[in-house]
Amino acid sequence: MPGNRTRVSCSVAVVLALCSALSGCGGTDDGGSGGKVVLRYTWWGNPDRAARTEKAIALFEKRHPGIRVQTSFSGYDAYKQKLATQAAGGDAPDVMQLDYRMIDQYASGGVLLDLGTQKAALGTGEIDAGLLATGRVNGKQYAIPQGRGTETMVYDVKEWKSSGVALPREGWTWSQWADAMRQLAKRTGKPGGTDPGQSEDAFEVWLRGRGKSLYTKDRKLGFTADDLTRWWTFTDKLRREGAVSPAEQTTQLDGSVENTPLGRGKAVSDVNWDAPASGFLALVPDGVALAPMPSGEDGTPGQYFKPSMFMGVSAHTSHPKEAAELIDFMINDPGAGTILGAARGIPVNESLRDKLAPALKDFDRTISDYQSSLEGDLKAPPQAPPSGDNALQTTFQRDYDQVSYERMSPREAAKNYITEAKAELRS
Amino acid sequence: MTATDVQATGVPRTRPATPSRPKRRREGAAWVFLSPWVLGATVLTLLPMAVSLYLSFTDYDLFNPPHWVGLRNYTQMFTEDPRYWRSVVATLTYVVIAVPLQLALALVVALVLKSVRRAKGFYRSAFYAPSLLGASMSIALVWRAIFNDGGTVDHLLGTGGWVTRPGWALLAVALLTVWQFGAPMVIFLAGLQQIPGELYEAAEVDGASRWRQFLSITVPMLSPVIFFNLVLQTIQSFQVFTPAFAVSAGKGGPADSTLFYTLYLYDRGFVASHMGYASAMAWVLLLVIGAVTAVLFRTSRSWVFYASDTDGGAR
């Protein structure tokens, strides 16, 4: 009898030991930080942004000796998927970079902290009221815009100039753009630009140039299958002519500048956002320049100033105050402003923007000048896209794949898209 | 086990009045030792399965609490989602291409390696290595680079990038799997070495050709092993994910040509945040794999030859 009891208690002890050994592996990461508060901060971007972010974080840690910031970054597509998984598991990073498209979903899903509760640590007085409002859902400030961006047609300066094709100018129309693409293809032997048919962003610019929008105020689709058919017929024709990139190039687009035809040296231009366009400098040996997006045929501008990205705090963070301090630093600190430049768009802090503008260097200056040239000409930004839009961006590209690989007509693909979009937006 | 249970089975009670006490204690110890496994199986397998079954009847979007929608996910899948059917076709095409090719290659290499006398170990490891490496993401990425537009294959054969062409991308992914034939090869090799040499000697005396020997001795004697490999590889191929994910950058492209079932499932769950729909897809996959395996077992009766069938169980 005593023997049996010993055996049972022994095995219990073994199991307990195993359990504690297992849980030991997943121990807290406070161990190596010497009692400091550890913040996880994640973002998407390119190596250029990474270098500047690390430098800014080092300055932040110097100013706040009690806080250590663990950063991690990846490309946009991968980031989007990882963050969704983390957020769903209740394990969102303390501070995260967010896109316009994520805010509605994350805020209504309870992932984000109401930053109105952290007013003491986070100043927003220097941000344009309209811009600040883009981070608000149901009256609560869930995210702070971090920069101002706009779309651009970025091009290989030397290649375009030596081709003799007239340079793009403000107020040019989509048909003038198409002609330029054709001529460039003829004279340089490679497509004039990336096929914009796959990009929901480019489609939005085109659509706004026709006086319409992606979404209506009550969060429904703002366009019809006819509109989309017209857009895809337009881009598909250019693709067939060789004026824009072939399907094999277009399908490799994943949000990084490295995988664009321009970045690979296989086209003269690309349609992109202005801030990430700095990544082209490392890829295009003779440098790139920024041109405004084409307007509607009657001159209506389609592009707009958009909060390029936001910063938000996890609703589950154990350090809301420190997280708010980090955002405050990234947005309002002059030192951070100098280091970050225009890596995430032109600064949102207005006095900082005015102070920094003359001191901006190199490509930051290019972006800043480009934005100044557009000021006053553009129409107001649309309201933040509804939740389902987050997935529709990918759907848009996929459906266009069917067109560019000639497996569906523009009309069939457009009908498909409308069906899928309606299904997504209902949820 | 209680006394009445014992009586119910008709076993006479021959033991003392308290027969079960030490036994029960020993059982207890067994359970304690088993508990890590039982805990793991319950918490990590059974519970998630039950939850996923429940979620498949809801519209769970990862952020908000799930709503019961009954069979809507299932009806949507079968009647309203062309992309779902594209993923089914892509997966079936892949299974039909990859499994036979892989097994054939594994068998051929096993036959060759069986007769290799020198540096046996080296060759065997060399052919097995891709399977070990193949599980990793990095090889799939290298594969993508090789078959990409402007990649090695493009340069050597001038065929353009395979992974950027809808007609070829699936084949590129299938080749990656076929190349990882090491595991079935090792099993074939073991099976081949079990075939008694006398059979071949007798056939040789009777003047049977090599090909005849292969068809009449090797294939039937090896059929249980072939069957085992076939079932295993088929199940695995239905669940193919990593190579397609890496080769198509997670998109199943170009033009949905490598949108395998699991890839689309992942896309619905983690990109579009339709976890309910993804769960429903997972359960359909489970049922289909079960059905296909059952069919394979049924057909096996007519072509799988077990030595014991004729020996009357002598071995």
pLDDT digits (tens, 9 = 90+) for B51-68: 999 999 998 887 778 889
Give ipTM to 2 decimals. 0.73
| Distance separating alpha carbons of residues A242 and A249, to the nearest angstrom | 12
More confident of the two residues B15 and A227: A227
| Distance separating alpha carbons of residues B283 and B285, to the nearest angstrom | 5
CB interface of A with B, residues 76-135, below 8 Å:
77-78, 80-81, 84-85, 87-88, 105-106, 108-111
Cα A5 to chain centroid, rounded: 63
| Distance separating alpha carbons of residues B137 and B144, to the nearest angstrom | 11
Question: CA triplet B32, B36, B39: central angle to 5 degrees?
Answer: 105
Q: Would you list the domain boundaries of chain B?
A: 91-259
| Distance separating alpha carbons of residues A327 and A89, to the nearest angstrom | 23
More confident of the two residues A368 and A29: A368
Other C-beta atoms lying within 10 Å of the C-beta of residue B4? 7
- HEC string for chain B: CCHHHHHHCCCCCCCCCCCHHHHHHHHHHHHHHHHHHHHHHHHHHHHHHHHHHHHCCECCCCCCCCCECCCHHHHHHHHCCHHHHHHHHHHHHHHHHHHHHHHHHHHHHHHHHHHCCCCHHHHHHHHHHHHHHHCCHHHHHHHHHHHCCCCHHHHHHCCCCCCCCHHHHHHHHHHHHHHCCHHHHHHHHHHHHHCCHHHHHHHHHCCCCHHHHHHHHHHHHHHHHHHHHHHHHHHHHHCCCHHHHHHCCCCCCCCCCCCCHHHHHHHHHHHCCCHHHHHHHHHHHHHHHHHHHHHHHHHHHHHCCCHHHHHCCCC
**3-class secondary structure, A207:** helix
The fold of A12-148+307-374 is D-Maltodextrin-Binding Protein; domain 2 (3.40.190)
Question: Do residues A323 and A309 lie in contact, with contact meaning Cβ atoms separated by under 8 Å?
Answer: no
- What single DSSP character describes residue A408? S
Please tell me the CATH superfamily of domain A151-303+388-426, with its number.
Answer: Periplasmic binding protein-like II (3.40.190.10)
A150 touches chain B (CB under 8 A): no
Residue B84 C-alpha, separation from nearest chain A C-alpha, in angstroms? 12
Q: Would you list the domain boundaries of chain A?
A: 12-148+307-374, 151-303+388-426
Residue B19 has pLDDT above 60, yes or no: no
The hierarchical CATH code for the domain B91-259 is 1.10.3720.10
Question: Scanning every residue of chain B, which has its alpha carbon at the shortest distance from the alpha carbon of A252?
Answer: B164
| Distance separating alpha carbons of residues B293 and B289, to the nearest angstrom | 6
A402 touches chain B (CB under 8 A): yes
Judged by CB atoms closer than 8 Å, whether chains meet at B255 and A407 is answered as yes
Contacts of A60 by beta carbon, 8 Å cutoff, 6+ apart: A67, A69, A326, A329, A330, A333, A336
Residue A311: per-residue pLDDT: 93
Residue B17: per-residue pLDDT: 53
CB interface of B with A, residues 243-302, below 8 Å:
249-251, 253-256, 267, 270-275
Helix orientation angle between B137-147 and B120-134, rounded to the nearest 10 degrees = 90
Question: CA triplet A360, A366, A369: central angle to 5 degrees?
Answer: 85
- What single DSSP character describes residue A198? G
Residue A1 has pLDDT above 80, yes or no: no
Residue A395 has pLDDT above 60, yes or no: yes
Residue A152: per-residue pLDDT: 92
Residue A240: per-residue pLDDT: 94
Please name which of B244, B248, B235, B245 lies closest in space to residue B285, comparing C-alpha atoms.
B235
**3-class secondary structure, A316:** coil
Other C-beta atoms lying within 10 Å of the C-beta of residue A305? 21
Contacts of A404 in chain B (CB under 8 A): 255
Residue A291: per-residue pLDDT: 92
| Distance separating alpha carbons of residues A321 and A300, to the nearest angstrom | 45
The torsion of the CA quartet A236, A240, A242, A244, rounded to 10 degrees, works out to 10
Contacts of A84 in chain B (CB under 8 A): 62, 270-271, 273
pLDDT digits (tens, 9 = 90+) for A298-350: 989 999 988 888 999 999 998 998 999 999 999 998 888 888 887 787 888 88
Question: Scanning every residue of chain B, which has its alpha carbon at the shortest distance from the alpha carbon of A405?
Answer: B255
- What share of chain B in percent tops pLDDT 90? 26
Q: Which of B29, B251, B273 sits opposite A8 (nearest CB)?
A: B29
List Cα–Cα distances, A417 to A259, B86, B199, in angstroms: 25, 15, 64
Stated length of chain A: 427
- What share of chain A in percent tops pLDDT 70? 92
Judged by CB atoms closer than 8 Å, whether chains meet at B32 and A15 is answered as yes
Judged by CB atoms closer than 8 Å, whether chains meet at B62 and A424 is answered as no
